[in-house]
Amino acid sequence: MDASTANSRHHGPRSDLGLIIASGARVAMLEALLPDPSPSFYQRQLEAATGLPLRAVQRELERLTAAGLLFRRTEGNRAYYQVNQDSPLFAELRALVLKAAGPALRLRAAAASDPSVRMCLLSAGRDRALAVHRDARRPALRDPDIAVGFMTAEAFLAALRAGDAETAAFLREGTDLLGRREDLLWRHVEAAGHNVKKEHGVP
């Protein structure tokens, strides 16, 4: 038995924290993945989100998967990566990332954690946000640096149809904090002629 095999059997997945937090590229990947850990992403999505070269994205994904923090699955010739929320590293690393995060990343994490939030938009001035939610219950989204407004999905669609100036400003000048473009709300946004940019770091 060679040394690497013995080490693998003794320790299980590689879980050295130095493997995860040793580089700026790794921090960028953690900031992209950990605030919203449920979706799966492919390499090009993470390349666009982080601005890292594809080779750097591939390298960090390999290391995070080897550390047990990510799952990898393939569909056809495309590999998808998802956070392993059962990893013993997950909770503490996510808390560490959010503790060091700016307001936008904190709000993204809070919005992603509330299943009623369908869309969250950050204003161009980065001091206001609009959270669009499923039902009458208002999500518990708060941040000391960002004033969060709320709309139900029905109210948002009505404002979109009416050309409401404040809603249009979020869509025209702001950024998308969640990136959940599979939500049907985004079809209405696109049909209204808006091309909303994703916040940096959002896959």
Tens of pLDDT, residues 109-140: 999 999 999 999 999 999 999 999 998 889 99
| Domain co-membership, 8 together with 86 | yes
pLDDT category at 20 given cuts 50, 70, 90 is low
Residue at which a domain ends, from 95, 124, 158: 95
How far apart (Å, rounded) are the C-alpha atoms in residues 4 and 1? 8
In a domain, 203, yes or no: no
| Domain co-membership, 30 together with 50 | yes
pTM of this structure: 0.85
pLDDT category at 7 given cuts 50, 70, 90 is very low
Mean pLDDT of all residues in 161-177: 97
Domain count, the chain: 2
Residue at which a domain ends, from 48, 66, 95: 95
In a domain, 20, yes or no: yes
In a domain, 62, yes or no: yes
Give me 200's structure tokens.
Answer: 């940096």
Q: Coil, strand, or helix at residue 130? A: strand
Instruction: Report pLDDT digits (tens) over 69-99.
Output: 999 999 988 999 999 999 999 999 999 999 8
Q: Coil, strand, or helix at residue 101? A: coil
Q: Coil, strand, or helix at residue 59? A: helix
| Domain co-membership, 79 together with 147 | no
Give me 49's structure tokens.
Answer: 């989100």
Mean pLDDT of all residues in 162-172: 97
| Domain co-membership, 54 together with 117 | no
Query: How do 175-176 and 147-152 pair as beta strands?
Result: unpaired
* pLDDT for 12 beyond 80: no
- Report helix angle 103-113 to 90-99, nearest 10: 140
Residue at which a domain ends, from 95, 129, 150: 95
CATH number for 186: 3.30.460
